[in-house]
A and B are shown apart, each in its own frame.
Chain A
Amino acid sequence: MSRHGWLLRLYPRRFRRAHGEEVLRSLDEELADTVKLGGLRGRAAALWAIVDVLVAALAERLRPPPSLSPAPLLNDLRLSVRALRRTPGFTLVAALTLALPIGAATTIFSLVNGVLLKPLPYRASDRLVNIWNDLGQGAQSLPAVHTLDFRDYQAWSHRFEAFAAASGGDMVQATGILTGDGAEAEQVEVSSVTANLFPLLGVEPALGRQLTAADEALTAEPVALISHGLWRGRYGADPALVGRTIAMDGRRYQVAGVLPASFHLQLPAEAFLVTDAQVWVPLRIDMTKIPPRNYTPLTVFGRLKPGVTLAQAQEEMDAIAARLRAEHPVHAASNLRIRAVKLHDDVVKGVGPLLMTLLAAVGVVLLIGCANVAGLLLARGARRRRELAVHAAMGASRGRLALRLLVESLLIALLGAAAGLALTLAVLRALPAIVPASMPRMGEVAVDASVLAVASLVTIGTALLVGVLPAWLAPQMDLSAELRSGSGGSPPRQDRLRRALVVGEVALAIVLLVGSGLLVRTLAALQKVRPGFDAEQVLTFRMALPSPRYAPTAKRMDLVQRLERELRALPGVEAVGTVTQLPLTGAGSLQPYAYDEETARHWESVTADNRRVTPDFFRTMHVKVVAGRAFTDADGNTPPVAIIDTELARRAWPGESAVGKRLQIAPAGDRIPFVEVVGVVEHVHLHDLTRPVHPQIWRPLRDNMDTQLAFAVRVAGDPTRLAGAVRDTVAAIDGNLAVTHLVPMTHYVEDGSARARLGVWVMTAFGVLALILAGIGVYSVVAYSVAQRTREYGIRLALGQDPRALRGMVLTQGVRLGLPAVLLGVGAALAAAQLLRRFLYGVTSADPLTFAAAALLVLGVLLLATWVPAWRASRVDPRSALGAE
């Protein structure tokens, strides 16, 4: 006899008797052949043969007998529908129990699909890369490139089809103000792009033409492509707009075309100056005014030649970087490195881990739901054993009975999936209100074919998971014994299985609760972080100063001073400050610096955030001056002064006072190579609430005016109340100025923790759902066992047992289920929490408080779920219980 005889036990008895011996002989022959093959191939072939035997066993069990018409299957369906309709309560509970997990799983998968799986909406987008320049030892890492470096890439590279570049509108600012056309002045985002950018991405204008190389000439007429949104909004979707001119910043631009409505420029969060703009102008490079090679205004996109791998492209960029370092001392000093990053990865890198974690969590929820419904079906199966036995007696084969039970669970799963899909559609519709604005690609999240495919797979998988236990057990019943006996009690084996399912459910619920607990604690910690300023009661807005009118620095400063003065005069205003870029509003300009010979020799080996402010900015934002002083109205470039943050002070002059020190901010020979440090302020979190990113250099706005400004207004009371007055004040000074982003500072702080908050919401919802499902699971097991033992309880009570003692007995039963489950769950949660580590802040992944709270919460729910049946047990009426049979 073959040593694989045990495999035959998996086949239905009928098949085993008829063909078992032959199967074994063939398997042995097959295995003998694989030995001749030898090696890995032989082993793989042997494994394949055994798997084949296993799969065939499963298929044989599920197979209806050979038949000419599909009627028997239809018959199964009809019988199943009838069975489910007979017990509408059960059907509803089971379907709803599956609806929530299936809906949640479909929703999370549509997010994963839209953001991570779908290719970017560009032609052959897997060949698109984004170019990063890294300087120093992590001093600067940005998707930003110098104009001439970009030209060198184009000239030297062979593994790229092309490079294209984008920048802010005039390479300094990324906004413009549209006027005329009978509409109000409107501030718009402007990008300047090389003419080949849209062809490189494979994007055709919806109307009009592409930009051309001729448009890039300095002397060419100004032209622009505009976004579909702007075309529809400001210009009423007028097709005749193409070819006409529009006025922006006092210049006339001919509209070359309108981009398609679906077009968005997908960028990594770090992209600098470049935005997904409304107006796109050709990038014009004035070769007479090229700044030094360390000035990097361009975001560069590349398209790999077909068949070129990312590693090969990187190899080439490494060579190009080496050549650039050799040819340009400034690149040698800063140790320039070039990285090619797949555009898709670059765009979604911030959300991938969060989404994958949520996907794992939703998988756990789904498992709990399946365990729950499997438990319900087992209990129901126990009650229906007589019915099944009758069917068997009338000639239904055991495989057939199993098939019917599977069809039933499939029907339940389908009902659940339909409700779940409705849930998904509702959630996706509400998505823009739920997810933070900084989440990439949210516009591409939708229920599409792949989401539907996965939803169907999940449904079928669920049906199998849920139905396989009852279906497997059904043929093993001793049916004739079943018919002879009268009662509907379930055999111990089924009871043990149901208990195991519930233990698993409870343990998984603890895993989810611990996860959500850790995220809640993280959010709490985030909210306690002092970001280096006080965001409460501060109203902010941004403004771009249109260039021709406000070109002279003095005119800009006049405007700022007048605006600050008039805003300060508004009732309730306590202080007003101006800054080039507000904290937590994205990457900003970086300033290389040096404080000793070493850092001076490797210029740009260290960089700091670079912000310019008016004297009152620190007072307005409640930024603490730690040493020295804040700026005064007299501070400017004569003499040049700066304020640094505690990070930079600690790094440059540890253990010393930084006040009075000279800090180098430009290579020797520059107009202003050194500034004097007049004060030290606390570190202001400009990029990330949880950690300092760069050290900071603050300089007076006077003499260093920018065209992009942001204003902060500290108000007594609700800052939004002042919004109207702010607009009026600005309009009264200059009607052509456009106020944008008029929001309280707290808006940006909340946005900074928005991802954490989203994680908390979703995980908590999952945790609560898991808790409820686990509670129902425990309840149903205990209630079922109480119902079965009604007679026993009646006798006990009749013999004078104290009802309280009886209650205690049933409660103990619940606790006996719960305790191992809690232990198991805590163990599993300890392991699973490791996956959450990167999202945690201010709490460890093994936080005892969270674990204890989750365990206690689950135990509490367990007791509650057990208490109801226990109470019922103690209230059994002995007479009716004994007379029941």
Chain B
Amino acid sequence: MVRLRRSDPEAWLPLKPAHYLLLVVLADGDCHAYALKKEVALRTDGRVRLGPGTLHRALGWLLEATLVEESPDRPARTLDDERRRYYRLTPLGRRVAAAETERLAALVAAARGRLTRREPIR
């Protein structure tokens, strides 16, 4: 068995959809939990709704896997709520998100070719 190293993005694939979506949203910038949830719902036209439990389990996993970390940077004090925690991508997290995007894109491309040719899927 080939053992993959933690620092190898391929080792983390495939990602669960919730993990992937969170990484994608964080790729645009640091974010707190409530905003993350809203953004995920917005980007999926409301199809993915992360409940409080699911959201923080996913964040917990991403933190533990060092794909995400807590951000020390805070927005302007007037916009900020002291108690909120902000999250940001780690460099590994960014590479993992990119790798997963590649993987999904390849899958979609393969499926497209197949389905538009109207061949039975064996």
Contacts and interface: CB of A to CB of B under 8 A. Distances in A.
A29 to B, nearest CB: 5
Q: Binding site of B, secondary structure by majority: helix, strand, loop or mixed?
A: helix
Name the residue in B34, B52, B65 with the highest tally of chain A Cβ atoms < 10 Å from its Cβ. Answer: B52
B56 to A, nearest CB: 5
B64 A68 contact: no
B37 interface: yes
Interface residues of A, number: 26
B60 A15 contact: yes
Contacts of B43: none
A55 B53 contact: yes
B60 A19 contact: yes
Name the residue in B55, B56, B63, B85 with the highest tally of chain A Cβ atoms < 10 Å from its Cβ. Answer: B56
B56 A48 contact: no
A53 B52 contact: yes
A27 interface: yes
A25 interface: yes
B51 interface: yes
A52 B49 CA distance: 10
A56 B57 contact: yes
Contacts of A26: 33-34, 37, 52, 55-56
Q: Binding site of A, secondary structure by majority: helix, strand, loop or mixed?
A: helix
Contact of A59 (B3, B11, B52, B57): B57
A23 B52 contact: yes
Given A68-B4, A69-B1, A56 B56 contact: yes
Nearest to A31: B52
Contact of B51 (A19, A25, A49, A68): A49
Chain B interface extent, by class: 20 to 34
Contacts of A23: 52-53, 56
B83 interface: yes
B34 A52 contact: no
B6 A30 contact: no
Contacts of B37: 26, 30
A69 B51 contact: no
A57 B60 CA distance: 12
A27 B52 contact: yes
Contact of B65 (A18, A48, A60, A66): A66
Given A30-B52, A49-B52, A68 B6 contact: yes
A65 B63 CA distance: 12
B22 to A, nearest CB: 13
A22 interface: yes
B35 to A, nearest CB: 10
A66 B34 CA distance: 24
Interface in A67-103: 68-69
A22 B32 CA distance: 10
Given A56-B52, A56-B57, 19 more contacts: A19-B59, A22-B85, A23-B53, A26-B52, A26-B55, A26-B56, A29-B34, A30-B37, A51-B51, A53-B53, A55-B53, A59-B57, A60-B60, A66-B61, A66-B64, A68-B3, A68-B4, A68-B11, A69-B1
Interface of A: 15, 18-19, 22-23, 25-27, 29-30, 48-49, 51-57, 59-60, 63, 65-66, 68-69
Interface of B: 1, 3-4, 6, 11, 33-34, 37, 51-57, 59-61, 63-65, 83-85
30 contacts: A18-B60, A19-B56, A19-B60, A22-B33, A22-B85, A23-B52, A25-B84, A26-B34, A26-B37, A26-B52, A26-B55, A27-B52, A30-B37, A30-B51, A48-B51, A51-B51, A52-B54, A53-B52, A54-B53, A55-B53, A55-B54, A56-B52, A56-B56, A56-B57, A57-B53, A65-B64, A66-B61, A66-B64, A68-B3, A68-B11
